[in-house]
Structure 1
Amino acid sequence: MTTVTADRPHRITPARVLRSEWHKLWTLRSTWLNLAATSVLTVGMGAGISAAYDGTGEGGLDTVVFVLLGTQFATVTLAVLGVLATAGEYSTGQVRATMTAVPRRLPVLWSKAAVLAAVAFPLCLLTNLLVFPLAQAFLTDTDQSAALGDPGVLRGLTGNAAALTLLAVMALGLGAVARSVPLAIGVYIALVMIVPELLHMLPYAVVDDAVQYFPAKALESATAARPGPDAATPGAALLALTLWAAVSLALAATTLRRRDV
């Protein structure tokens, strides 16, 4: 009985793995830099393009998408943070200590994903809620004028934060699969930015429909207050991004179980 009691404080539990990954994430300088860059670029670009807008646009761009154009940078900064959370440990060799402490391995992956999501979502949502009214101060009496209470606006701001979070988790999974920071970032950029543009060149309607559920287009649909007639609905877009993130984590889990550290 005495031995069991003495050993109990050193038992591996989900809460302890979570706490370890939380501490690990916040002690990295790259975490602070990427999170700061995410907010600064989103707010700066949103305010900048709104201040420069003269109201002569064609009115074809959704207001929330217009104000949150800076989140295009966030898709990269948060992805880099996700990749560093997994592949970064392989580059430094810290993964050996991590997997020695948690031999079952998979709790580490789930904890990393949970911690990243818990950081990314509130940061993105608070940033969006800050930049939207700031940008609207410059957009009064233009075709991009809107209020937080207008139909679809709050949903678009929240949907954007959720979509960015799912993209970051997808990147985290890719990092665990690739085990290389440059390779994982390259694969992520190809999936998000390059492959959809290449597919658009194919003369098939079914391909155009499928591209609407690729990460970049799904992000835009989740952000829009009034999605276009040919775009995916916000719910379908978020579901597609959830599946992208789930597939990435599933591949990461398989890799962790089958490969040596």
Structure 2
Amino acid sequence: MTALALPVTEPRARFRDLLASEWLKLWSLRSTGWSLLLGALVVVAFNAGQAWDHYRYWTSYDAGSRVRFVRDGMALLDAFTGNAGMVLILATASMGAMTVVGEYSSGQIRTTFAAVPARRSVMAAKTCVVAAVMTGFGLVVAGMSFWTSQAILSVHGVGLPISHPGAVRIVVASALLAPVSALAGMALGTLLRGGAATIVSAVVLLLVVPGVISEKRHWSAVLAHLQPQKAWQRLLQIGDWPAPFPWTVGGAWLVYAAWALGAAAVTVFSVQRRDQ
């Protein structure tokens, strides 16, 4: 008698295995480490440069300007500057986009989906890994920027400790700007699947649009306040929001959460019914 061969069923991939796979996939690229290092150096340099500028010309300020600088806690403005924020948004959005676009351009995504047909699980694991890495990156960059800028200003005795009111919020808001931007880049990469188109779209969506929307009218102010860059600026603001239509710190945190969750949902669910 001939024994019947039983079909072999491959075990279903566990989510922790997918996380490990995506983690190894991300760090197997040399560009990952170098991109993070270069981005961190540029961002910290922008912030340190602003603090150095205040340190260098401190003796040329009049007495009233020095008093206002200390009284209004303006040293916190050097902890994370607008230029540094723009660089952080561009760098992290690009890195987030390339984690998806790189696989599509190389064709590796076909192998991945062939090995693990559960596309949503694969993309969810990729999203979790990118969010975790970018959160850690943001914390390091924001923490180093705060420490460096305040250390420079402390030479003249005007640097502020992390316990100063508003300091923790600035560090956390700047740190979380990294994963929010990276997830937005991932969502655009999943939809567009082209490197140039995705980067241009990220620049327009995350940097150009917030810059051109006016806050002088209520409807346009609402649109402006829905942007992550504007939310970040609100979280860094010392005192009241200097615009005709002010908004709350809590509202800015909600914008962060909405963009992160929305971008993650687009990344995870948009691949289910699309061709590879």
Do structure 1's residue 257 and structure 2's residue 272 form an aligned pair?
A: yes
In 2: Cα distance, 1:143 partner to 1:193 partner: 35
User: Which of 1 and 2 has greater Rg?
Assistant: 2
SS in 1 for 2:152: coil
Worse-superposed segment, 245-254 or 207-216? 245-254
Deviations 1:217-252 (A, max 9, x none): 112223446563545433321221221232233333
State the TM-score, normalizing by the size of structure 2: 0.82
Deviations 1:22-58 (A, max 9, x none): 0000011221122112211122122122112224478
The letter of the residue matching 1:220 is Q
In 1: Cα distance, 2:123 partner to 2:102 partner: 13
Alignment correspondent of 2:78 = 66
Distance 1:112 1:157, change over 3 A: same
SS in 2 for 1:256: coil
Any residues of structure 2 matched to 1:103-142 within 5 Å, and which?
A: 103-140=117-154
The letter of the residue matching 1:150 is H
Deviations 1:128-179 (A, max 9, x none): 2222122112224879742211011012201211122111111111111111
Alignment correspondent of 2:47 = 46
State the TM-score, normalizing by the size of structure 1: 0.86
Alignment correspondent of 2:15 = 14
Alignment correspondent of 1:236 = 251
Deviations 1:41-80 (A, max 9, x none): 1221221221122244785895434321223211111111
**8 Å Cα contact 2:43/2:88 also seen in 1:** yes
Alignment correspondent of 1:219 = 232
**8 Å Cα contact 1:43/1:127 also seen in 2:** yes
Do structure 1's residue 246 and structure 2's residue 261 form an aligned pair?
A: yes
Identity, in percent, stands at 26
Unpaired stretches in structure 2, ≥5 consecutive residues: none
Distance 1:143 1:216, change over 3 A: farther
**8 Å Cα contact 2:213/2:223 also seen in 1:** no
- 1:207 maps to which of 210, 220, 223: 220
The letter of the residue matching 2:92 is L
Distance 1:105 1:149, change over 3 A: same
In 2: Cα distance, 1:164 partner to 1:207 partner: 25
Alignment correspondent of 2:104 = 90
Unpaired stretches in structure 1, ≥5 consecutive residues: none
**8 Å Cα contact 1:193/1:216 also seen in 2:** yes
Aligned CA RMSD, in angstroms, stands at: 2.7
Worse-superposed segment, 243-252 or 152-161? 243-252
Distance 1:207 1:27, change over 3 A: same
Q: How many residues align?
A: 256
